[in-house]
Structure formats: structure tokens, C-alpha cells
């Protein structure tokens, strides 16, 4: 079976604060030109996307330095649906061994897509991210960010900066964010998430498809 786990890219797409918004503008139309072309403007981390190490690491690899087969992951679904807003996902909540190369954190936060609540998602602790990196796991999440996203609801005990990104991307691992439609997936499946072939990219939108 196949399932699309991708948010469509539209002008209403939720983006990280300060990132470019998605714009879809008619460039040519059937009425005026006899054919249709749409101009797209978006960031490399728009919608359902993958982070390359160069996103946060000055000497990190870009997406085009990874073989295309890297983006067909043997995935393990991790049930994090009990997490509250801005609650950390700790190391003891992760499976060991996972028998996979990608841990998919299923928080159900995609239910808040398009609302302010989407920014107050659970997040992966730096310790848990380092644990994943040590075991050679890439990480995916159905939320905006594996680190806390700054909002007025941020807590005093939250980490500064983006330590989970540094732990994973700094060790040559990949991060997938803004997945959706994870309910009902089996514990183990294949997730294909091929990014746009943009040269020297620090990240890129993907079409994420689960297969089992």
C-alpha cells in the first residue's frame, strides 16, 4: 500500500517564523498565452521538507552530495501522541533497537496545521537527538521543527537555539519535518522522501510517501 504523507504547497502553507512564504502566481494563462505556467516562490524548507547538514552546519553536506537511495528510508514509527504542547520528547521514549534507519516521531501535531497551535509542538531533546545520531538514525516528525519553535508560549526551561538540529545534522544525518497523515501506519514501513534536485541545497521540499 502507498500513502501520501505530504502537505500540499499553497499560499497558506505554514512556514517557520521569518522564512519565505509560498507564492503561486500565474505566469502564463490559456486565455492570454494558449498554455499555462505558474511561477513559484518558496524557501528550501517550505512545507514537507528535508534538512541537509548544511542547513545549520557551516561545513555540512548539501542534499546533492547524498546518493538518491539515501532518501528511501526504512522507517520505524514512534508513538509520541501523548505529548503536550511544547513538551520535550526524551530519550527513554525512543525504541532501542529500532531496526530502521529513520525514526518517525508521530505526535499528531499535523492536526494543528494552519493554526497558531502548530508552532507550539512537542520537540526532541538534545540528548535524545544525540542518542539517535549515535545509533545512525535519521529523524522525521509530523510537526514544524525537531527543536522548539520560538513563540510567546515558550517556557523558561526550553533549550536555547537548535541543539537537536546540531546533534543530527552535525553528525551527517538528515531531518524530515512537516509530515502528515501518519495515523494508522504500521510500526515499520518504507518512507520515500525525494527532494527537488536543487544544486548545493541546504534543504528541499519532498513528496513523502509511505509504502508497506
3-state secondary structure of 73: strand
Nearest to 45 by CA among 138, 165, 125, 185: 165
Q: Determine which one of 7, 55, 138, 173 is catalytic.
A: 55
Partners of 88 in the beta sheet?
123
Q: Quick check: is 27 catalytic?
A: no
DSSP element (H, E) containing 30: helix 30-33
Cα separation, 15 vs 114, in Å, equals 9
Q: Is 180 exposed, middle or buried (0-12, 13-18, 19+ CB in 10 A)?
A: buried
What values do phi and psi take at 42, rounded to 5?
A: -165, 165
**Count of Cβ atoms closer than 10 Å to residue 170 Cβ:** 17
- The span from the CA of 51 to the CA of 60, in Å, is 11
Catalytic residues: 55
Amino acid at each position: 500500500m502507498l500513502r501520501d504523507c505530504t502537505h500540499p504547497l499553497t499560499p497558506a502553507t505554514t512556514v517557520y517564523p521569518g522564512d519565505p512564504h509560498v507564492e503561486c502566481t500565474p505566469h502564463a494563462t490559456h486565455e492570454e498565452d494558449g498554455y499555462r505556467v505558474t511561477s513559484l516562490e518558496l524557501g528550501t524548507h517550505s512545507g514537507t521538507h528535508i534538512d541537509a547538514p548544511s542547513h545549520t552546519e557551516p561545513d555540512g553536506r548539501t542534499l546533492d552530495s547524498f546518493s538518491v537511495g539515501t532518501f528511501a528510508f526504512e522507517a520505524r514509527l514512534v508513538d509520541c501522541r501523548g505529548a503536550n504542547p511544547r513538551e520535550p520528547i526524551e530519550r527513554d521514549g525512543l525504541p532501542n533497537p529500532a531496526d530502521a534507519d529513520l525514526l518517525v516521531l508521530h505526535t499528531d501535531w499535523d492536526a494543528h496545521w494552519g493554526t497558531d497551535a502548530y508552532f507550539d509542538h512537542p520537540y526532541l531533546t538534545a540528548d535524545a537527538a544525540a542518542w539517535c545520531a549515535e545509533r545512525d538514525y535519521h529523524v522525521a516528525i509530523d510537526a514544524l521543527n525537531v527543536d522548539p519553535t520560538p513563540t510567546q508560549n515558550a517556557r523558561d526551561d526550553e533549550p536555547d537555539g537548535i541543539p537537536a538540529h546540531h546533534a543530527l545534522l552535525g553528525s551527517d544525518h538528515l531531518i524530515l519535518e512537516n509530515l502528515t497523515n501518519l495515523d494508522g501506519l504500521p510500526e515499520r514501513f518504507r518512507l520515500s522522501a525525494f527532494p527537488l534536485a536543487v544544486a548545493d541545497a541546504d534543504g528541499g521540499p519532498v513528496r513523502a510517501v509511505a509504502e508497506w
